[in-house]
Amino acid sequence: MSAARAAREIKEGRLTSEALVQACLRRIREREPQIGAWAYYDAESALRQARALDRMAPGLRGPLHGIPVGVKDVLDTADMPTTYNSPIYQGHRPAWDAACVAATRHAGGIALGKTMATEFANNHPAPTRNPRDLQRSPGGSSSGSAAAVADFMVPLAIGTQTGGSIIRPAAFCGVVGYKPTFGAINRAGLKAVAESVDTIGVIARSVEDAALFVHAVSGRRLPDFDDQPPPPRIGFCRSPYWEHADEATRNLLETSASRLARAGAKVRDFTLPPEVAGLYTEQDAIVYFETARALAYEFHRFPGKISAALSGRLEQGWRYSCEDYDAAQHHAEAARIMLAAQMEGYDILLTPSAHGEAPRWRQPIGDSLFNKNWTLLGLPCVTIPCGTGPSRLPLGVQIVGPRHADARTLRYAHWVWQRLG
Contacts of 295 (CB under 8 A, 6+ apart): 120, 193, 306, 314
Task: Name which of 61 and 266 has its Cβ closer to a second copy.
Answer: 61
Distance CA 310, CA 141 (A): 13
- 31, 250, 293, 362: residue in contact with a second copy (rule CB under 8 A): 293
Task: Name which of 186 and 251 has its Cβ closer to a second copy.
Answer: 186
> Residue 348 in 3-state DSSP?
strand
Please report whether residue 18 would count as binding a second copy according to CB under 8 A.
no
Contact by Cβ (8 Å): 384, 420: yes
Distance CA 308, CA 346 (A): 43
Cα dihedral 68, 70, 74, 78 sign: positive
Task: Name which of 94 and 155 has its Cβ closer to a second copy.
Answer: 94
Report 196-215 residues binding a second copy (CB under 8 A).
Answer: 196
Please report whether residue 388 would count as binding a second copy according to CB under 8 A.
no
Distance CA 350, CA 238 (A): 8
Catalytic pick from 86, 137, 141, 143? Answer: 141
Catalytic pick from 17, 72, 239, 307? Answer: 72
Q: One symbol per residue from 32 to 71: x for binding a second copy (CB under 8 A), - otherwise; what is it?
A: ----------------------------------------
- 87, 219, 230, 273: residue in contact with a second copy (rule CB under 8 A): 219
- Mark whether 165 is an active-site residue: yes
Q: One symbol per residue from 70 to 109: x for binding a second copy (CB under 8 A), - otherwise; what is it?
A: --------x----------x--x-xxxxxx-xxx-xx---
- Mark whether 145 is an active-site residue: no
Task: Name which of 322 and 341 has its Cβ closer to a second copy.
Answer: 322
H helix intervals, 202-304:
207-218, 247-262, 274-277, 279-294, 296-301
Calculate the dihedral angle through the C-alpha atoms of 161, 91, 304, 322, rounding to the nearest 10 degrees: 40
> What b/e readout covers 297-314, taking b as 16+ CB neighbours within 10 angstroms?
ebbeeeeeebbeebeebb
- Mark whether 266 is an active-site residue: no
- Residues in contact with a second copy by the rule CB under 8 A: 78, 89, 92, 94-99, 101-103, 105-106, 183, 186-189, 191-192, 195-196, 218-221, 290, 293-298, 300-301, 321-322, 326, 329-330, 337, 404
